[in-house]
Amino acid sequence: MFECQYCEAKFKSERTIMIHVCEPKRRYMNKDEKYSRLAFHAYSRFYELTQAVGGRTFDDFAKSKFYLGFTKFGMHIININAVNPEDFIDFVIRNSVKLDRWCSDSVYETYIQELNRKESADRAVERSILLMQKWGADYDRPFSRFFKEVSKPLAIHYITSGRLSPWVIFNCDSGAELIDSFSDQELTIINEYLEPSFWTRKFETRREDVQFVKMILKKAGI
């Protein structure tokens, strides 16, 4: 007899046990999938941050009653292509968001607003330029043409998913022109993320950073 090491089911032939798949075995087979690694990281961080318990193993995770909740969140992070996944994981835990709400749109929106507000200027520029370069590669265009040529729906998507920082949009002419081209209705949507009055105040107190961002963007021809 052959016994499944995960669920202890017994089989007469080696061939049947090889093709046998049970839920515990499936969890181990998918251990190294990206969603599973993110989920395990979230699970570990949860115990570290809320209960000061370190050293959780994958075995603990696979047997946890919260396994499915965490893996659903791991898939969600990949589906929405979350900015800085590890920061997002810490954000939901530190803000005591209930696990069943981790995948809700409003939680990610709050995270993005906070991230944009707190992020340093150089990090924001770096991240936004990387996005423009990816856009350039995808559309076979020079990335410096980003604000002039990106489609409006895509620009709105990038803004509302936090992939384009206000640091960049507000500190170059082509970014300002893109904003001017939006309809009132579109502006209502994106202003929740761009928070113009917050950024106007912030730029006034951070003049050196503003000069730095403008210089970088100018050099890049954006």
**Among 15-23, 45-53, 55-63, 136-144, which window interacts with Zn ion (CB under 5 A)?**
15-23
What single-letter amino acid sits at 70? Answer: F
Alpha carbon distance 14, 92 (integer Å): 45
What's the closest the beta carbon of residue 28 comes to Zn ion, in angstroms? Answer: 10
Torsion of CA 92, 99, 48, 75, to 10 degrees: -80
Asked if residues 125 and 96 have their Cβ atoms less than 8 Å apart, the reply is: no
Check binding of 17 to Zn ion (CB under 5 A).
Answer: no
Check binding of 4 to Zn ion (CB under 5 A).
Answer: yes
Residue closer to Zn ion, measured from CB, 24 or 196: 24
Residue 11 β-bridge partners: 2
Check binding of 58 to Zn ion (CB under 5 A).
Answer: no
Other CB atoms within 10 Å distance of the CB of residue 120: 10
Check binding of 18 to Zn ion (CB under 5 A).
Answer: no
User: What size, in residues, is the chain?
Assistant: 222
Residue closer to Zn ion, measured from CB, 27 or 76: 27
What's the closest the beta carbon of residue 17 comes to Zn ion, in angstroms? Answer: 8
Interacting residue ranges for Zn ion, rule: CB under 5 A: 4, 6-7, 9, 22, 25
